[in-house]
Structure 1
Amino acid sequence: MQLNNKQKQFLKGLAHPLKPVVLLGANGLTEGVVAEIDSALEHHELIKVKVPDEDRELRAAIYEAIARETAASQVQVIGKTLVLYRPAREPKLKLPK
């Protein structure tokens, strides 16, 4: 799903007070972590994921892999935190046009 700038700004505002729902551990991006992110997206639609890796290029690759594997839209990256959005089967959030 492609988000336009207006929709991204709206989602960034909603994501601001949120705490990270998933924190990647020492094992990195495993199938279990991807399943947990997928489950969190289905339940919340808008989540934050914390990736504590120090290598900037590796973090960017992890962010891309997470978005691809979960079919979610990357809204924003703040330091080591990724903000993801994916509408649920019955969407709770109403995005602007």
Structure 2
Amino acid sequence: MLTNKQKRFLKSEAHHLAPIFQVGKGGVSDAMLVQIGEALEKRELVKISILQNNEDGKHDVAENLAKGTKAELVQLIGHTVVLYKTSVNNKRIELP
């Protein structure tokens, strides 16, 4: 579980990132979760965009992404989700 201070730090780190995944009409799939998990292992912090044609609620999508990848939900702002997961092999981010 992240503290508020750690979340603020991660939000500032994620500010300049571009979304690297998009959740569309099909919703969250197992293949997508595997790819996001691999990206989290390499980057630790990722942004995911939820498209307007998505049929699920954005809060449900964010929760499913976090649970499916075993990551921490840092932020859901608009239709953008920010996830963080500590990397085993590529540790880059030092939390305060």
Per the normalisation by structure 2, the TM-score is 0.90
Root mean square deviation of aligned Cα: 1.7
Q: How does 1:1-97 map to 2 (within 5 A)?
A: 2-53=1-52, 58-90=57-89, 91-96=91-96
Gaps of 5+ in 1: none
* Local SS of the residue matching 1:34: helix
What whole-Å deviation, never above 9, does each CA across 1:15-70 have from its counterpart, x for those lacking one?
A: 00000011113321111111111111011000001111467972111110110111
Change (3 A) 1:31 1:86: same
Cα distance between partner residues in 1 of 2:12 and 2:22: 21
- Paired with 2:31 and 2:85, the residues of 1 have a C-alpha distance of 19
Q: Which aligned runs of 4 or more in structure 1 are off by greater than 3 angstroms?
A: 53-57
Report sequence identity in percent. Answer: 37
Q: 3-state DSSP class of the match of 1:26? A: coil
Give the AA of the match of 2:10.
L
8 Å contact from structure 2 (residues 24, 53) kept in 1: no
- SS of aligned partner of 1:60: helix
